[in-house]
Every structure is written in structure tokens, then in C-alpha cells.
Structure 1
């Protein structure tokens, strides 16, 4: 019995590793197809849609589904990703300028820019998982992901920790990048965000039930 359970868990573990490696390669391939900047957003959207399907237990051919979602979400995903990329580039350039300047004011500016960058990174961790789960106007995704990041700080810290851990591991062992780093980050953050969103939806639904009950008319007893 224990042997069978161990074998099943081992199979599931290695199957997940293989799936993550395939996701990693697909993300890189389709990002390159999109000329890098124009491919990263749609590839990330397609990856998170695939992660959510796997988290829900939906069996679908990964490559075919990824390609379909990449091209199907090309415009909307770029409209979502490009402004975030632009802000990230501006923050990086300003931080580089102020952090290398002398004086108290430039150093304070560098600290402030770093804080804003961390907040942006936290909100960005929720951005495409939210896109994969909910149908919203494009302008709502960044606003709601930012609000979710602030209201669920514990989850945001976990996502930032995973991001930092993957970045550190990739910097230490660059050979991980072509095979696991990106896929592991997408899978880990996507899976966690899906759990966070599910818990939040359940909480909101539970809170709405008493409110609806209070709104019901009370029959008078003569």
C-alpha cells in the first residue's frame, strides 16, 4: 500500500517536472516568435491559462493549447503587459541614475523608487493569473491586482519570495533558465494565485449570503 502510494506520488512529481520543463520551453519559443517584447505578454498569458487548467485537473495538449491561447490573446495580453514593462524600464533607469548619484536626496529617491518597484512586482505577480481566471475590462486588471496585492500582503510576500528564490537560483545556476526557471516561476505563482483567488471568492460569497438573508422581508407574526 505504501509502495503504491509512493510510486503514485513519485510519478506525479516527475510528471509535473516534465510539464514545467515543457511550459518553460514553450514560453521561450513563443516569446522569441513575438520578437521578445511583443511575445512575452501573450506567452505569459498562455502559460497562466495552461497552469490554471492543470490546477483544475483539465487534461489538454499543452503545446496546442498554448499556441491557441498565445495567438488568441496576443492583442489583449500585449495591451496589458506593455505598460507594465514600460513602467518597469522607467523605474530601473531612474533607480540606476539616483543610486549612483551622491547626496541624500538621490539616495532617498533611490529608496523610494525601489519601494515602488517592489509594489509593482507584487501586483504583477497577480496580473496574468487574474487575467487567466476572470473576464474583466483591460483597465481593471492592473487596478484589481494592485488592490489584491495590498489586501493580501501575506500572499504577496510569498509570491515575491518565490520570485526572488527563482531569480537567485537562476543567477547561481544559469543552466536552469532554458529548462526550468521560467516554467517553475509561472507554475508556482500561477498555482498559488489560483488558490488565493478561490479562497477570496469563497470568502466574498460567504459574506454575501448573510447580507442577502438580512435583505429578505421578515414576515410579521400576528
Structure 2
């Protein structure tokens, strides 16, 4: 019995490793097929939507599922990407400008902008997770992501530590980034978002009781 459980655990682990590697390669392929600029966000949404199916213990064919979401969300995901890129560009320009000035007020604004950028990064993660979870207008996704970021610090810490762990793994383990970096980051984002959703539902149930 124990041997059977161990074999199942090994099989599940190997199955997940192969899926993550395959999805990561598909993400690279479809990002490049959209000339990076137009392929990045559709490929990212397709990756998250495909991973979400496996997290929910569904087992659809990987390529067909990825391709389905890539085609379906190509335009809308690029609209979302344009909003994300525009706000990110404004934050980047602001930080660079404040970095070039030297007085107490600009130093305060510089560090405030860094904190805002970190919060914005978390909002992006939750927005993408929400996008593949429920069908809502883009503005609602962003608003919900902001509320989750503010009210759920623990899942947000998981995202930060998860991204840091993947960064160090990619830096020190040669070749791992090509096969696993983006797909594992997607898994971190979805798992952290699911934890945040459970916490919100738990709070709502307590308020009803």
C-alpha cells in the first residue's frame, strides 16, 4: 500500500514536471509568434488558463487548450496589456526622474514610487489570475485585484517569495529557466490568488454567521 502511494506520488510529480515544461515551451513559442509585443499577454493568459485547468484536476489536451485560449483572448488580453504597460511606463519614468534629482522631497517620492511599483506588480498578478478565473470587465478585474492586494498580505508575500525563489533558481541552475521559469511563476500566481480567494470567502462566511 505504501509502495503504491509512493509510486502515485512519483507519477504525479513527473506528470506535473512534464506539463510545466511543455506549457513553458508553448508560452515561449506563442510569445514569439506574436512578435513578443503582441504575443506576450495572450500567451501569458493562455498559460494561466491552461494551468488553472490542471489545478482544478481537469486534464484537457495541453496544446489544444493553450491554442484555444490564445486565439480567444488575443485582442482582450492585448487591451489589458496596453493598460498594464502604460501605467508601468509612467511609474518607470517617474522613478527615473526622481532618481536623477537630489533633495529630501524627491528622495521621499522616489521610495514612495518604489513601494507603489511593488504594489502595482502585485495588482498585475492578481488581475491576470482574476482574468482567467471569472468573466468580468477589465475595470472590475483591476479593482478586485487592488482590493485583494490591500486586504491579503500573506498571499502577496507568497507571490514575492515565489518570484524570488524562481529568480535565484534560474540564476544558479543553468538551463532551468528555459523549461520551467514562466510556468512555475504562473503556478505561484494562481496558487497565491486561490489562497486569497479562500480567505475572502472565509471572511464573508463569518460575516453572514
2:88 corresponds to which residue?
88
1:20 corresponds to which residue?
20
Q: After TM superposition, give the deviation of residue 167 of structure 1 in Å.
A: 2.6
Of residues 102-111 and 131-140 in structure 1, the stretch that sits farther from structure 2 once superposed is 102-111
Q: Contact (CA 8 Å) 1:155, 1:196: kept in 2 or not?
A: yes
Of residues 164-173 and 175-184 in structure 1, the stretch that sits farther from structure 2 once superposed is 164-173
How many Å separate the matches in 2 of 1:64 and 1:198? Answer: 30
1:51 corresponds to which residue?
51
Q: Give 5+ residue unaligned stretches, structure 1.
A: 211-222
Q: Contact (CA 8 Å) 1:52, 1:191: kept in 2 or not?
A: no
Find out whether 1:107 has 2:107 as its counterpart: yes
Q: After TM superposition, give the deviation of residue 58 of structure 1 in Å.
A: 0.8
How many Å separate the matches in 2 of 1:126 and 1:55? Answer: 17
2:34 corresponds to which residue?
34
Q: After TM superposition, give the deviation of residue 198 of structure 1 in Å.
A: 4.2
2:188 corresponds to which residue?
188
| Structure of larger gyration radius | 1
2:169 corresponds to which residue?
169
2:9 corresponds to which residue?
9
How many Å separate the matches in 2 of 1:171 and 1:100? Answer: 30
How many Å separate the matches in 1 of 2:144 and 2:21? Answer: 30
TM-score relative to the length of structure 2: 0.90
* Change beyond 3 A, Cα 1:176–1:96: farther
1:64 corresponds to which residue?
64
Number of aligned positions between the proteins: 209
* Change beyond 3 A, Cα 1:195–1:52: farther
Render the CA deviation track for 1:37-80: whole Å, top value 9, x for unaligned: 22111111111111111111111011111011011011111111
* Change beyond 3 A, Cα 1:88–1:169: farther
How many Å separate the matches in 1 of 2:17 and 2:128? Answer: 22
Q: Give 5+ residue unaligned stretches, structure 2.
A: none
Find out whether 1:118 has 2:118 as its counterpart: yes
Q: Contact (CA 8 Å) 1:53, 1:59: kept in 2 or not?
A: yes
How many Å separate the matches in 1 of 2:158 and 2:188? Answer: 10
* Change beyond 3 A, Cα 1:95–1:175: farther
How many Å separate the matches in 1 of 2:110 and 2:170? Answer: 25
Render the CA deviation track for 1:116-148: whole Å, top value 9, x for unaligned: 101001111111111111111121111111111
Q: After TM superposition, give the deviation of residue 202 of structure 1 in Å.
A: 5.4
Q: Contact (CA 8 Å) 2:43, 2:70: kept in 1 or not?
A: yes
Q: Contact (CA 8 Å) 2:80, 2:138: kept in 1 or not?
A: yes
Q: Contact (CA 8 Å) 2:98, 2:109: kept in 1 or not?
A: yes
How many Å separate the matches in 1 of 2:80 and 2:201? Answer: 23
How many Å separate the matches in 2 of 1:193 and 1:96? Answer: 31
TM-score relative to the length of structure 1: 0.85
Q: 1:126-205 residue pairs with structure 2 within 5 A? A: 126-173=126-173, 175-201=175-201, 203-204=203-204
